[in-house]
């Protein structure tokens, strides 16, 4: 069970994964040793999965962001498993969710431009044989995009 200090540590690390133990201990008015021990416990218990840099997608030439709703032709377990295995191979697919409702999957795709998206759809997505329908939506403006979870 997380206490208020654990939650405060998680919030701080989400806001800046480069905070040092000393900086966190100063912000929380605690000594470094218990902060270090808590962070190690949070890592070992799986609350903290990893540390990474969040890149500016436009600076690395990934200006087009699209969401694709995908319907499968067949819903047999083997076809679902094969789709999921195939979709994992595409670097352009940043996220993939198996959903309930009209569509079976929602994927988030990042590419350079519309030409790159067309190539992705025609060469990669179309190579997955069980796809029945794809409906794409293109992001015009990112109003809110964040990676921080609401730790309460």
Taking the C-alpha atoms of residue 55 and residue 58, their distance in angstroms, rounded to an integer, is: 9
Nearest in space to 43 (alpha carbons), one of 28, 27, 66, 21: 21
Determine what percent of the chain is predicted with pLDDT higher than 90.
91
Residue with tokens 């498993």: 81
**pLDDT tens-place string over residues 24-74:** 999 999 999 999 999 999 999 999 999 998 899 999 999 999 999 999 999
Distance CA 72, CA 118 (A): 20
Domains of the chain as residue ranges with CATH: 4-44 (1.10.10.10), 64-138 (3.30.70.920)
Banded model confidence at residue 147, pLDDT cuts 50, 70, 90: confident
The pTM (predicted TM-score) of the whole model is: 0.86
| Cβ 62 vs Cβ 145: under 8 Å | no
Strands of 105-111's sheet, edge to edge? 93-98, 105-111, 64-72, 131-138
């Amino acid at each position: 069970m997380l206490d208020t200090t654990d939650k405060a540590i998680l919030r701080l690390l989400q806001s800046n994964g480069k905070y040092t133990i000393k900086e966190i201990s100063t912000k929380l008015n605690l000594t470094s040793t218990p902060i270090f021990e808590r962070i190690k416990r949070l890592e070992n218990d799986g609350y903290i999965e990893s540390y990474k840099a969040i890149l500016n997608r436009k600076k690395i030439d990934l200006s087009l962001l699209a969401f694709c709703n995908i319907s499968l032709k067949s819903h047999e377990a083997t076809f679902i498993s094969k789709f999921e295995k195939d979709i994992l191979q595409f670097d352009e697919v940043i996220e993939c969710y198996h959903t309930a409702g009209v569509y079976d999957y929602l994927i988030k795709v990042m590419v350079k431009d519309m030409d790159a998206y067309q190539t992705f759809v025609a060469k990669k997505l179309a190579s997955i044989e069980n796809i029945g329908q794809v409906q794409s939506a293109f992001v015009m403006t990112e109003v809110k995009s964040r990676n921080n979870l609401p730790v309460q």
